[in-house]
Structure 1
């Protein structure tokens, strides 16, 4: 019997449920895909293009097509189809995040270390935010520079301020939470600024069939807000649970003998958290986000008029959809 063909434009799981989204993102953000060469990634893209046309090589199995789809979705931008920088991909969140977050949690005692690792973290975040933006809203070099400088400054000011405050008034354990406070504050600055063009000019919104009908600034605000929450949730368990764990462990004599391993231990523990939390955070909200058309009628009348014009004699959809980015 002939093998049933896949609709490779559709997800393998039901994305209307959290469980389905979790499976999808665990599959899509698999950090092992970061080791795949660019030539193999481009071959996967070509295989999918040929498969759509029914011209795939003879003997191609469904497993090969599914793996090609995994490579494509982990490495290519969903809006443009361009190959993403490996360090900015969501599949690099586990190896990249564990190294930087582990270092932030370990080297928190001196102001110099705090400033350096916050700078490293925000540089990494800026790359991730830019790589996973809604690419239909281009951002200028000056806007990127302002976003990067502002987010980095916010992280450093928060970190130094918390460190100075808690050093005098709180226990040593509280000082370990300085990195999380800085990261949370910086995410609230970094992501909106990195994607400010979406808020200023609006993003494309479509009907359920993907037909672009108008733009919306409110849709951009909703999508970016959800991304900010997701990013904070992504790092929260590791940065909130590990400090008391390490505070307790470091009191044991055997831990005192292996101080040189404290940083690697924290890095590995953060990696364990992120392996689970990256898909969890990405799955919190649907990737294909929705907004009611009557909200546009009330708050964005000019975009609603464009919506009516593009719908012509057809009924205006109750819900409109857009890619919120990651």
Structure 2
């Protein structure tokens, strides 16, 4: 009788799973294939879903418990693949992958767009005074530094001194570059007003790109010295690799250049065209809401595209790593968490 009941339960669970279009659930694995850019794009669109910001503590506990039940083979009959994928999505959006601690809402990946858009609008405000430029550059780098820290690869501890060093380096880099270019533009008397306005706005691109890279390198420099954990196919740590850390930082540096470039180029080109329309010239008060919508659209487009350039768990051949790591595993490849 017990065997019959068990068989019936398994059959019911299988039928429930078969009734959905969701792929078979794999604990800790992405729902969409990470070998293609399109698969990573769908994966990160899931991760940046802002609806996860409103998940209650009770719903989070239920999601974590459901995954624990699956892990230990205690899953109740009737649980579908879709429910399991949804539970994993909630957990990964709220809890850090390495520490399993809750990430503060403004610094979650799903919170980057709603909390980042007001900052981008402030950065793109025309005719800013020096104090305003400094404030928005400082606020942007402060937000980025906190996002970097909250979503870092935490397999190696980051001293507070390193965080402060990275934060100050990014702020100084952004402000010095942004203010320096602002002063140069003011002294360029031969520029037409339109050209001057475009240069003033696009000056943010080198300022933000250099600051993002400076922030990334200084805050995660410890990874270059100590290495980051690399895992075999079974999820077992086979060592800490400095070579893998260099690969992770190179991938992140490229992403941190592509992201502001995509946002600024798209939004500023469209904004400069709209400013010439009769509607905005007759109603200049509409400029700020239009600019806000442009920043929102550009960020919604640029963020998933930029972070989809590389998979979250990047793969590297063991032959490219340190000899002691290559000897510690029989796997041809290992993976590492590149961070965000």
| TM-score normalised by length of structure 2 | 0.85
2:245 to 213, 220, 243: 220
Greater alpha carbon shift after TM alignment, 255-264 vs 13-22: 255-264
Ranges in structure 1 where 5+ consecutive residues have no aligned partner: 297-302
Q: Judging changes above 3 Å, is the alpha-carbon distance between structure 1 residues 168 and 242 closer, same or farther for their aligned structure 2 residues?
A: farther
Q: Judging changes above 3 Å, is the alpha-carbon distance between structure 1 residues 150 and 259 closer, same or farther for their aligned structure 2 residues?
A: same
CA–CA distance in structure 1, aligned partners of residues 246 and 184 of structure 2: 33
SS of structure 2 residue aligned to 1:208 = coil
Aligned alpha-carbon RMSD (Å): 2.1
Q: In the alignment, what sits opposite 1:86? A: 105
Greater alpha carbon shift after TM alignment, 159-168 vs 117-126: 159-168
What is the deviation of 1:56?
4.4
Q: Judging changes above 3 Å, is the alpha-carbon distance between structure 1 residues 168 and 295 closer, same or farther for their aligned structure 2 residues?
A: same
CA–CA distance in structure 2, aligned partners of residues 109 and 228 of structure 1: 29
What is the deviation of 1:57?
5.4
| TM-score normalised by length of structure 1 | 0.89
Over residues 197-222 of structure 1, what are the superposed CA-to-partner deviations in whole Å (9 max), with x where a residue is unaligned?
A: 11121111122322222221121111
Answer 1 or 2: higher relative contact order, Cα 8 Å, separation at least 6.
Answer: 1
Q: In the alignment, what sits opposite 2:336? A: 322
Q: Judging changes above 3 Å, is the alpha-carbon distance between structure 1 residues 157 and 7 closer, same or farther for their aligned structure 2 residues?
A: same
Alignment of 1:240-251 (within 5 A): 240-251=265-276
Q: In the alignment, what sits opposite 2:257? A: 232
Q: Judging changes above 3 Å, is the alpha-carbon distance between structure 1 residues 157 and 10 closer, same or farther for their aligned structure 2 residues?
A: same
2:170 to 147, 151, 158: 151
SS of structure 1 residue aligned to 2:146 = helix
CA–CA distance in structure 1, aligned partners of residues 187 and 13 of structure 2: 68
> Computing the radius of gyration over CA atoms, which structure comes out larger, 1 or 2?
2
Alignment of 1:163-202 (within 5 A): 163-169=182-188, 170=191, 171-172=195-196, 173-202=198-227
Q: In the alignment, what sits opposite 1:18? A: 37
Aligned residue pair count: 315
What is the deviation of 1:256?
3.5
What is the deviation of 1:61?
4.1
SS of structure 2 residue aligned to 1:290 = strand
Indicate conservation of the 8 Å contact 2:13/2:79, yes or no.
no
Q: Judging changes above 3 Å, is the alpha-carbon distance between structure 1 residues 114 and 261 closer, same or farther for their aligned structure 2 residues?
A: same
Greater alpha carbon shift after TM alignment, 52-61 vs 258-267: 52-61
What is the deviation of 1:146?
1.0
Q: Judging changes above 3 Å, is the alpha-carbon distance between structure 1 residues 38 and 197 closer, same or farther for their aligned structure 2 residues?
A: farther
1:44 is the counterpart of 2:71: no
Over residues 100-125 of structure 1, what are the superposed CA-to-partner deviations in whole Å (9 max), with x where a residue is unaligned?
A: 11221125632111110000000000
Alignment of 1:222-301 (within 5 A): 222-296=247-321
1:95 to 92, 108, 114: 114
Indicate conservation of the 8 Å contact 1:103/1:267, yes or no.
no
